[in-house]
Structure formats: structure tokens, C-alpha cells
Amino acid sequence: MHPAPSVILFTSLSGLGFGLLVFLGLGLPPVTGWVAFVFWLIGYVLACGGLIASTFHLGHPERALKAFTQWRSSWLSREAWGSVIALVLMAITGIGAVFLGARWALPGVLGALVCLGTVFITSMIYAQLKSVPRWHSAWTPLLFLAISLAGGALLAGQASVAVPLLLLAGAVQIVAWFAGDRAMGRSGTTLATATGLGPKVRLLAPPHTGPNYLTQEMVFVIGRKHATRLRAIALLLMSVLPVILLLLPFHHLLGLLAVLFHVAGVVVSRWLFFAEAEHVVGLYYGQR
């Protein structure tokens, strides 16, 4: 799939933002007043920034409100609802914490759950797609959730939770990659099933000599070597380095560095999430 910056930013940032809000909703760290304001602000900037980024790739953003109508069937529509509910609940919790110095557990816990749910919903937008075998797996929600929680813990300054979560995210990431590598093969979808023309069939000529929406959007090829290198970088930045930094004697600067590394790592991981995902339509265009 084409690794479009808007979608990479959307999923990375909103994941982080909602991750942070989860912890804030649970009262971790137990902040109030100005400090709470800063934490909430970071959470909202990330979550909303991501959501706004996601509208960049819409052909008609002015009609975006229509996306709330199909929650019965559409994960994308559910995401719209999820985000709004999560943001509202967390806003209530935030008002309490910032302005009233109160730590309301009910909206907080509910908010945390809905934030987590929203991350899950986001992941299901991808995981539901049978047409992209690498995504069509339980590892996709697990990965999104693990990364979101790890990032949230890190941002929330919960070093003791963050370390295992970062390690978990790293582990899930590794499994997801390897499971993903076999997904296309296991999906059962091949050029043979795509064309009904038997086992030895290949594309001789594409339908048009130029590019089209499908090839631009869904056929992206990334070299194996390149991918392996990027995987290592992603893992290092997202998981390994932050964990090392957290295990070192605490210093704000190290914490900041850990966050920056992690965010960079998540962006690389998300880039790979798209770039490595093969859409079965690629078969019709000679991929594989």
C-alpha cells in the first residue's frame, strides 16, 4: 500500500495521543492544575492532530460529517464516533483535573476504555481488509494497542509500566512482521485464483501503460533489504533505545530522548506497516 504521510501521521499520532489519554483517564500520573493541562494538551494535540491529518486524504472533507452515519457496519464510521466519545469523556475528566483539581474516576475510566477502544477501532479499519492479507490478522489490533499503550505510558512518564509495555510492543511488532511475511502466502489468494487461469500465469501487459489510482494507491514495492534495515531501525527506535534510556538513571533529558526515539520508531514502523502491506489487486498488476 502506498505509505501516504497523512495516514501514517494519523495512525501514529492518534495512537500515541489516545495512549496517553488512557493513562490520564486512569489517573496516571495523578496530576491536576497546570501540569494536568499540559498533559491533556499533549494528548489532545496528538489525538486531534492525527484525526485532522486523516482528513487530508479525503476527496471531500467538507462532507466529513456524513462519516458518522454508518456505525452499524463501518469501522471507519465507528472510529469517528469512538474518537468523538473518547475526546468528550476525556474532556470532562480533563476539566475536572485541570480546573477543579478533581480526579473523576467514572468519566476517567470510561474515557480510558473508549480511548483504547478507539485505537482498536482504528486498527480494525485495517485488520478487517481481507484484501490486504498482512493486515487481516489479530496481530494488527494487538500491535496498534501495544504501541499505543507503550507510547502512552512513556508520555505519561510511567517508566515502570512503560518498560514492559515497550518490550511487549517490540515483541508484538516482531511477531506481526513475521506473521505478516507469510500472510499473503497463507491467504490463499494468488494470481491463479484471481484469474482462474491455472498455476502458471503471469501478467504480460497492464491494462493501461500509465499509472492509475489503483497502482498509485495500492501497489507499492519496497526492496527486501531496505525493509529489513528499516525494521531494525524501527525496533531500535521504538522499543530498544527507549527501554535502555528508561533503565538508565532518570533524567528529564533522557526521558525526552526516549519519547522522541519512540515516536520516530513508531513512524518508521507505521511507514513499514503500509509499505510492506500488499494488496491482492497487485496480483492483477504483476506484483508477486
Give me the residues that bind other proteins (CB under 8 A), please: 1, 57-61, 63-64, 66-70, 72-77, 79-80, 125, 128-132, 187-189, 191, 193-198, 200-214, 216-218, 279-281, 284-285
**Closest to other proteins by CB, 53 or 146:** 53
**Closest to other proteins by CB, 208 or 224:** 208
Q: What is the nearest approach in angstroms of other proteins to the Cβ of residue 134?
A: 13
The DSSP letter of residue 248 is S
Return d(Cα 126, Cα 119) in angstroms, integer.
11
Q: What is the nearest approach in angstroms of other proteins to the Cβ of residue 27?
A: 33
| 99 CA to centre of own chain | 31
Continuous segment of H or E residues that includes residue 283: helix 281-284
**Closest to other proteins by CB, 135 or 177:** 135
Q: What is the nearest approach in angstroms of other proteins to the Cβ of residue 57?
A: 7
| 73 CA to centre of own chain | 21
**Closest to other proteins by CB, 188 or 249:** 188
Q: What is the nearest approach in angstroms of other proteins to the Cβ of residue 66?
A: 4
Return d(Cα 191, Cα 138) in angstroms, integer.
25
26 CB-near residues (< 8 Å, 6+ apart): 108, 109, 112
Choose among 48, 238, 249, 273: nearest CA to 162: 238
Query: Cell numbers 502466502 correspond to what residue?
Result: 185
**Closest to other proteins by CB, 73 or 160:** 73
Q: What is the nearest approach in angstroms of other proteins to the Cβ of residue 137?
A: 15
